[in-house]
Every structure is written in C-alpha cells, then in structure tokens.
Amino acid sequence: MQKEWYEIKGGKRLEGTVTISGAKNASVAIIPAAVLAGETCVLENLPHIQDVQSFKEILEELGVTVDYTDGDCMRIDSRTLKNTKALSEAVSSMRASYYLLGALLGRFHEVELALPGGCVIGARPIDQHIKGMRALGAEVELDCEKNIVRAKAQKLVGAEIYFDVVSVGATINVMLAASMAEGTTVLSNVAKEPHVVDVANFLNMMGATVKGAGTDVIRITGKPKLHGCGYAIIPDQIETGTFMIAAAATMGDVIIKNVIPTHMESVSAKLMESGARVIEGDDGRDFYLRVIMNERPRAINIKTLPYPGFPTDLQQPIMAYLCASNGVSAINETIFENRFNHVKELRRMGASISMKDSNTAKVKGIPSLRGADIYASDLRAGASLMVAGLAASGTTNVHNIHFIDRGYEFLESKLCALGAEVKRREK
C-alpha cells in the first residue's frame, strides 16, 4: 500500500522490553538456498516481512511447495521444482533474488534470472557474483537490454576465488553454487557478516561442507547431493541496532531480547562513546542488551565498514540520533556510493547536515528535531526517519512506509509496546 504512512507523536521515552525477530538478510538467502536440497526444509524464526512473502511467491512460481506449518515455520519442498527460469516482476523487484543464481546453478547447472534493479543506494552491480560463477565453470551471459542473467554449466568444478570487493551477496551466492560443485572451492576476501555465517551453517545442516565462514577464507568441499533439514534463523543484527539507537535517541531505557551481543559490538561501542549505557545480560533463556540514555548524546564519528566494522545499514538510523547531539559528528559511508537520501528529509525536521564530500556527512547537533512530513526512499532511510520522528518534538508523518515493511516485523506494535505513540494511517 503506497498510500500508508506512520504518524508519530515524538518525544516519548522508549521504556520496556522488545524481542528481536529473525534476520531479514539471513532469511532472504536461506529461503532460496533451501532449493539446493531437493527435499523438504523447515525454517523457524523467519520474520513476517514483505521480502520473505515475496520469496514464498517466487519459489511457488518455480513449482516449489511452500507453506507454513503449525508453530509458524516455513516448509519448503523443492522436489517439485521444475522451472529454472525466474523472470517475473516479483523476481526483478527484489535484489536478493540474485541468490537464485547460485542455488539453481548449483542444483540444476542452468538458470535464467530477471536482474534486480539497483535500488536507490547505489548501482548495486553483481560483477563479483558473475566472476565467482564463471570461476566455477559456468557460462554466464548478462543481457543488459532485458535485464536478465543466463548461466549454464556442464558441471561446476571447485576453484580458488578472490573477491575484488568484499560483498555479502557475492560471498553467499558463490557459497551456494560451490556447495554442489565437484572438488574444493576456496573463497578469499569474503564478507564476514553474521548472515554469511548463518547461511554456511544452514548449508552444513543440509549436508554441505563449508568451513571458515566468518573468517577471511571460506573453504567449501562440494557434494553431489544435499538433503532437507530443519533450521532456525539468527536474530536480526540490524533490527537490534535500530532499537538500540531508538532507545538512546529517546533517552529511554530498553531491554532488547533475543540478540547475539557479539554481533552488536561496533554499535554498542559507538553508542557508549556517545554517552549511552549498554548492558549485556542473559535472563537464563535469551541474551539481551539493555540501552539506557539520560542525557543529550555526545557527538561521535562513524565510518561504515564490512563486518565487524560499523554496519552500513545502521548509518542512516544513527545519523538521525546524532542530529540532536551536543557537537559535530562526521559520518563516512564507505560501502555504498549513494546512501544519504535521508539527509534532505532530516533537514526538513531542522537537522543541520552538510556534505563534506560525496561520502561524508557533517552533522551539527541541535537541541531537538521538530516534527514534519518526511518521505522514506529505501528501507534503512525509513528506519532513520522513524528514529527521528520518535525523538523529535511534535508530530512526524513518515511516508512510503512500504519500504519499512520490507525489513521490520510488527514495527509499530513493538514501538507502541515501548511507550511510543505510532499509528499506521492511510489515505
């Protein structure tokens, strides 16, 4: 629904407990990866977000049986998969569809895929994905006219592959294809994000042999056949960080449950540097992080880096937080070339932000943002505007919230349970 928006009455301290959902960026890789099994996989802790729903529809278009069992698990039976051409609108509208390249090539040695457009945070090329597939022996043809990629291989043979760019998508995609190649594949200069490790663990549950995920080198010994399995998705690192930042931005006191604290170290460190208290705990069942803030944040500098550095997906939310700091913060985005579309919206709320260069924003803190009508341009820009609206004085209307629905499960109910005044409105 493009006509919906969030109305936020700002200035309310967030207080209480929130439970984090399954990781979007692990889910959108593991769901397509499940087709490698050619049997039934049962996935737990998938978030109810648009991207997961989209993948359900995409797999069903390919002839895969996808349904929800009791207890909210997604069951994927890919024995019935017969079509390796994924060319629908649903495919081309979601970047993570590119994982079908590795999954269908790995199992069927052929695939035709509608390419995802580059969303507004940059060109979003897939040259490293293609480099990896070719290294494994596939012929890959990119039809830029029709925005389709075609790949086929007599067989896939393990290879040594060095990625020119640290890429989450390419690392995962090539891991998928290599898991069923003949022989051993060695991947270097790989991404080490938590969701890369989660996909590797899932592949191993299906009988693959993937070693070293989360380190600089991943070794994969290909298998002729993988099998079905059950698997639980890890908690969402970026949703966790978003709630940590929202808690600090509203001078709140929030316990964030179902987290993996080590995934959050760079975020915890930067929030503590700005004056927040971040307490790690374990209630006997779940790990939690408690974020407490009682003062105006100190200005800090942010540089986004591949994991374990500060995540690019939280650059936009933390900028909203720093708009009300008591100094000047520099925010340097090193991963994407155009991830500052939220700046103009924050300026509508009174933020004082100037661009030092195309990748560095200078944020001069003001006492408080004021409510305004603002427009999300992508998923994490939307998260940034939510944080701004929660912290601002007065009422803020965040439009284009379909972007936010892609990646945050039950956002308004989670925020209201913490004392926020957020209402979903529609024209």
What is the spatial distance between Cα 246 and Cα 388, in angstroms, rounded to a whole number? 8
Candidates 191, 275, 206; CA nearest to 237 is 191
By CB under 6 A, which span of 69-77, 124-132, 209-217, 273-281 interacts with ligand EPZ?
A: 124-132
Q: How far is the CB of 417 from ligand EPZ (least distance, A)?
A: 23
Does the CA dihedral 192-117-426-318 come out positive or negative?
positive
Q: How far is the CB of 199 from ligand EPZ (least distance, A)?
A: 10
Q: How far is the CB of 55 from ligand EPZ (least distance, A)?
A: 11
- The secondary structure of residue 80, as a DSSP letter, is G
Residue 169 is a binding residue for ligand EPZ (CB under 6 A): yes
Residue 128 is a binding residue for ligand EPZ (CB under 6 A): yes
Residue 126 is a binding residue for ligand EPZ (CB under 6 A): yes
By CB under 6 A, which span of 6-14, 20-28, 282-290, 388-396 interacts with ligand EPZ?
A: 20-28
User: What track of x and - describes contact with ligand EPZ for positions 326 through 365 (by CB under 6 A)?
Assistant: ---------xx-----------------------------
Instruction: Determine the 3-state secondary structure of 259 from DSSP.
Output: coil
- First-to-last alpha carbon distance for the chain, in angstroms, is 10
Query: How far from the centroid of its chain's Cα atoms is residue 375's Cα?
Result: 20
Compute the half-sphere exposure of residue 253: CA atoms within 13 Å on the CB side of its CA: 1
Instruction: Determine the 3-state secondary structure of 14 from DSSP.
Output: coil
Residue 167 is a binding residue for ligand EPZ (CB under 6 A): yes
Residue 168 is a binding residue for ligand EPZ (CB under 6 A): yes
Residue 269 is a binding residue for ligand EPZ (CB under 6 A): no
Q: Cβ(134)–Cβ(150) under 8 Å?
A: no
Amino acid of residue 208: A
Smaller CB separation from ligand EPZ, 124 or 296: 124
By CB under 6 A, which span of 165-173, 272-280, 367-375, 396-404 interacts with ligand EPZ?
A: 165-173
What is the spatial distance between Cα 392 and Cα 404, in angstroms, rounded to a whole number? 19
Phi, psi dihedrals of residue 129, rounded to the nearest 5°: -65, -45
User: What track of x and - describes contact with ligand EPZ for positions 170 through 189 (by CB under 6 A)?
Assistant: x-------------------
Candidates 120, 18, 117, 118; CA nearest to 380 is 120
Smaller CB separation from ligand EPZ, 324 or 331: 331
Length of the chain: 427
By CB under 6 A, which span of 38-46, 119-127, 291-299, 340-348 interacts with ligand EPZ?
A: 119-127
Contacts of 251 (CB under 8 A, 6+ apart): 13, 293, 294, 295
Residue 263 is a binding residue for ligand EPZ (CB under 6 A): no
* Given 41, 119, 144, 416, the catalytic residue: 119
Q: How far is the CB of 251 from ligand EPZ (least distance, A)?
A: 26
Q: How far is the CB of 13 from ligand EPZ (least distance, A)?
A: 27
Indicate if 119 belongs to the active site.
Answer: yes
Q: Cβ(397)–Cβ(374) under 8 Å?
A: yes
Residue 109 is a binding residue for ligand EPZ (CB under 6 A): no
Q: How far is the CB of 390 from ligand EPZ (least distance, A)?
A: 19
Is-cis flag, bond preceding 308, omega within 30? Answer: yes
- The secondary structure of residue 311, as a DSSP letter, is -
Smaller CB separation from ligand EPZ, 304 or 396: 304
Residue 407 is a binding residue for ligand EPZ (CB under 6 A): yes
Q: Name which position in 12, 56, 107, 129 contacts ligand EPZ (CB under 6 A).
A: 129
Q: Cβ(216)–Cβ(4) under 8 Å?
A: no
Please give the size of the binding site for ligand EPZ, defined by CB under 6 A: 26
Instruction: Determine the 3-state secondary structure of 317 from DSSP.
Output: helix
For ligand EPZ, the binding residues (CB under 6 A) are 24-25, 28, 95-96, 122, 124-129, 165, 167-170, 191, 193, 312-313, 335-336, 379-380, 407
- Residues known to be catalytic: 119
